[in-house]
Amino acid sequence: MTRDLAPLFLENSNVIAVGTHQTLQPLHDYVQAMNFSLAPSELRVTNSKPRPGEQATYEIVQKSKDREVRPSILAVLPGRAPGLKVMLLQSRDTGALVELISSAAGSNSIEEMWKKEGSPQYFEMVTYTELESHRPLRTWPVAIHTFTSQVPANSM
């Protein structure tokens, strides 16, 4: 993701944006329209409208001195023109999210949760990545919401 993303790019192309809270600032209005939000420090994901049984926040879980579980966000949102989409991978550990969507097991786990949500065209999902000595071991989806907000016509 680049801070110099041209505004017209979102009106003419599908976009995959990978980054942290800070590096995804060119898509600020997209991020603001979402139910799930990654804290600036990537320490937690906040769920602004938790459903029954869902957490209001997804925090880092410290399992041991060298092992932790970190939250991230994967979202497929509407682009600015009909038929276009924006995929956001928002995490401190973006490589783990890329691995999740590119592996058979990972894409199957995403698809399973997506189908339980009713197979929405647009959605946002919280994932967890377990790391040992800062090395990703596994990533899995933990919560999904259908994206129903309107995306601003011009967010830059």
For 89, the token pair is 């991978």
Residue 96 lies in a domain: yes
Residue 33 lies in a domain: yes
pLDDT band at 29 (very low <50, low <70, confident <90, very high): confident
Residue 43 lies in a domain: yes
Cβ atoms of 30 and 145 within 8 Å: the answer is: no
Q: What is the pLDDT of residue 104?
A: 93
Q: What is the pLDDT of residue 40?
A: 85
User: What are the percentages of helix, strand and coil residues in the chain, rounded to 5?
Assistant: 20, 35, 40
Residue 87 lies in a domain: yes
Q: What is the pLDDT of residue 122?
A: 96
Residue 2 lies in a domain: no
Q: What is the pLDDT of residue 12?
A: 75
Domain that holds residue 59: 9-146
Average pLDDT score over the chain = 88
Three-class DSSP category at 56: coil
Longest CA–CA separation in the chain, Å: 48
The tally of domains found in the chain comes to 1
Instruction: Using the predicted structure, report yes or no on whether residue 155 has a pLDDT greater than 50.
Output: no
Q: Find the mean pLDDT for residues 90-114.
A: 92
Q: Find the mean pLDDT for residues 94-115.
A: 93
Residue 125 lies in a domain: yes
Instruction: Using the predicted structure, report yes or no on whether residue 1 has a pLDDT greater than 50.
Output: no
Q: What is the pLDDT of residue 2?
A: 46
pTM: 0.89
